[in-house]
Structure formats: C-alpha cells, structure tokens
Chain A
C-alpha cells in the first residue's frame, strides 16, 4: 500500500462498517496477518462507536471521523481524529471481567478491547481534536522500498506445453505470498513445468527464494520442474550467494529454460 491511506466519514453508525473495511484492507495490504487485521478492525469499530455515541450524539452533535493508516518501519499505525468535545478514555474504569453475569455492567468493554487488541494505544487532545493513535507491530510492515501493489503475474503457455510466468518488481516478504499463490494456481491448474521469467524482478529476498523452492518441490513431486530465465545481475548474485543457483535450473533466455525443462 502507499505509505499512508486516509478515510473520512460522517460520524454515523451506518458508516462504521466502511471504516472497518478500510482499516482491515489497509492492514492486509501492509502484510499483517488475518488475526491482526481482525484485531485492528474490531478496535476501529469500538473507538468509532465511542466517538459517535458518546462524543457526538450524546451532545446532540454531528461531525466527522478521520482515519489515517500508515505503514512505518515494523509498525502499522492507525490514527483516528474527531471533533467532538475532549474525551480522555484513559480515565474510564476497567470492566471487572471476573464478575458474575448478574453484576456485569453494560459499557466499558469497548475501550478495554482496544487496549487489549492493539500493541500500543495513545490518546491526545491535539489541535482541538480527539486523537487516538493505535499500533500493531509486524516486522513485515514498512519495507523501506515498498513493494509493488500489483498482484498480477502474467502467464502464458509455450507450444511445448511449458508454462511461463512473469513476475515483476520486488519479491519479498510483502509480495511473497501473492507470488506463492500465483505459482500454486499454476501447479493446481496442472502446469508442472514452469519457467519463471525474471528479467523484470529487481530484488528477491529470502522469502522469495523460499517461495520458489517450495514451488519447485511441488512441481518435482508432480514429475515436473521449474527453471528460471533472464535473471538480472543483482538477482543472480542472490542466487549464487545463497547456493540456490545449484538447486534451480537457470538459463539466459526463456526458450533455453523451457528446453531444459523438456529434457528433465
């Protein structure tokens, strides 16, 4: 995702699902797990509901809510701004979660959830706005050279039945899963002889190598193989340094790579 995504909505409960969707989508785009995205989504609903019910409606007000999602190094940050009267949630009592059912009080749970679900939560009244800053930590977030958001991996079939797939940009922890899914889709479609055209791949990380290796094992288990064609010098160096050049069939051009798979 871009470094920063912004969403502005009218502070009404009917719009909260859109806010949840926006945050969830942003969290997934930066590579957070499903569970982390779930937690971000729930924390967002809880805070937006607080703003609408206790900030705006209780005072007979209407107003907006602004949400900013940012991919920082190792951190996914959600900042939620609103213009309702100052409301410091850190003064709220903690609900007694060991109380028997009959003694449970309605309310208070939302703020408790937010604190439990997120790694850090910080409230400020800044420039006349309530500002809640929440973060989730993930080592995959905020790669200094952000991965290409493009999830398309063009594929074609050669006359000899070999399938060619052409990734581009960086293959790293952010894009590795998409690449893995694209390779798996080919294998599941019955293509077990695959040439990966690498001329447009600018960088490959250990995650990318692992994805290729696991696809190779699957292809071999089906009696096929994977060959790599047209690696840039930089990418070839990664293969040589890691010893992966001895595991994979490498060729200068796609046709040559495909012929090597035929002989296999």
Chain B
C-alpha cells in the first residue's frame, strides 16, 4: 500500500493505492490521524487505485470519519473500484459516505 497526502486550499487529499489489509491499515489510520490532529477535517480519500480492502481498512476510515464529523468536517470518498464498493456495501457503509466518481468532484464538493 502507498499513501500520498496533498494539502489543497480547503481540502486535504489522501490518495491510497495497493492493498489495504490488516497489515497496512494501521499506516492508513496513522496518516488520517496526523491530518486530523493537524486540524485538517475536510478530507477526501481517493481509492481509485486500491485493488483490495478488508474490514481493517474500513475500520480506519470509519474511525477517521467519526472524528472529523464530530468537529464539523467530513471525509468523502473518490472513485472506489467495484470491488471496494462491494465491500463498503457489505459493511453497510455505502449510504453513510458521500462517494464521488472522480477526485475532482470529491474535492470540489467541499
């Protein structure tokens, strides 16, 4: 798994690629937490290059989303693959997130 973080004017964009599994999820959680602790609460997580995600990865995303929402921010998801979308659906999370087909739309939504 690889993560890159870009700070934009109103939004912090977190682009993730590769496998988000029980091993790599911790790193994703740490990255998200660093951003939140730095006061960045408008987050876009771009999952277009994530080929695989397990419940461990979802846990980190849910936990970060709870934190930013309780501070008045949001975490929005850009372009998940069908496989990732299926896993979100299975977890009953699809309706709880704003999901955008492209990164541009997700960033522009704030």
Restricting to A46-94, which residues have a CB under 8 Å from any CB of B?
Answer: 46, 49, 52-53
Restricting to B22-68, which residues have a CB under 8 Å from any CB of A?
Answer: 22-23, 52, 54-56, 58-59, 62-63, 65-66
Contact of A97 among B19, B66, B87, B91 (CB under 8 A): B91
Q: Does B83 contact A (CB under 8 A)?
A: yes
Q: Are the CB atoms of B54 and A46 closer together than 8 Å?
A: yes
Assembled-state Cα–Cα distance A106/B66 (Å): 11
Q: Are the CB atoms of A106 and B21 closer together than 8 Å?
A: no
Q: Does A127 contact B (CB under 8 A)?
A: no
User: Which secondary structure characterizes the binding site on chain B?
Assistant: helix
Contact of B59 among A17, A52, A100, A107 (CB under 8 A): A107
Q: Are the CB atoms of A42 and B22 closer together than 8 Å?
A: no
Q: Are the CB atoms of A104 and B19 closer together than 8 Å?
A: no
Contact of A16 among B23, B70, B87, B96 (CB under 8 A): B23
Q: Are the CB atoms of B91 and A100 closer together than 8 Å?
A: no
Assembled-state Cα–Cα distance A125/B65 (Å): 38
Q: Are the CB atoms of B23 and A17 closer together than 8 Å?
A: yes
Contact of A102 among B58, B59, B69, B91 (CB under 8 A): B69
Set of chain B residues within 8 Å of A14, measured between Cβ atoms: 23
Q: Does B8 contact A (CB under 8 A)?
A: no
Restricting to A2-47, which residues have a CB under 8 Å from any CB of B?
Answer: 13-14, 16-17, 20, 38, 41-42, 45-46
Set of chain B residues within 8 Å of A41, measured between Cβ atoms: 52
Interface residue stretch chosen among A109-117, A131-139, A229-237, A244-252: A109-117
Q: Does A101 contact B (CB under 8 A)?
A: yes
Q: How many residues of B contact A (CB 8 A)?
A: 22
- Minimal beta-carbon separation of B85 from chain A (angstroms): 12
Q: Are the CB atoms of B66 and A102 closer together than 8 Å?
A: yes
Q: How many residues of A contact B (CB 8 A)?
A: 27
Set of chain B residues within 8 Å of A42, measured between Cβ atoms: 52, 54, 87
Q: Does A98 contact B (CB under 8 A)?
A: yes
Assembled-state Cα–Cα distance A55/B19 (Å): 24
User: Which secondary structure characterizes the binding site on chain A?
Assistant: helix
Set of chain B residues within 8 Å of A109, measured between Cβ atoms: 55, 58-59, 91
Assembled-state Cα–Cα distance A108/B19 (Å): 21
Set of chain B residues within 8 Å of A116, measured between Cβ atoms: 90
Say yes or no: A113-B21 contact (C-beta < 8 A), given A46-B54, A102-B66.
no
Assembled-state Cα–Cα distance A3/B56 (Å): 32
Q: Does B92 contact A (CB under 8 A)?
A: yes
Tell me the nearest residue of chain A to B75, going by C-beta: A101
Contact of A49 among B54, B70, B87, B96 (CB under 8 A): B54
- Minimal beta-carbon separation of B22 from chain A (angstroms): 4
Q: Are the CB atoms of B90 and A16 closer together than 8 Å?
A: no
Known A109-B58, A109-B91, A113-B90; further 11 A-B contacts with Cβ < 8 A: A14-B23, A20-B21, A45-B22, A45-B54, A52-B22, A53-B22, A97-B92, A101-B65, A106-B63, A110-B54, A113-B87
**A-B residue pairs in contact (CB < 8 Å), sample of 14:** A20-B21, A42-B54, A45-B54, A49-B22, A101-B62, A101-B65, A101-B66, A101-B69, A102-B70, A106-B59, A107-B59, A109-B55, A113-B55, A113-B87
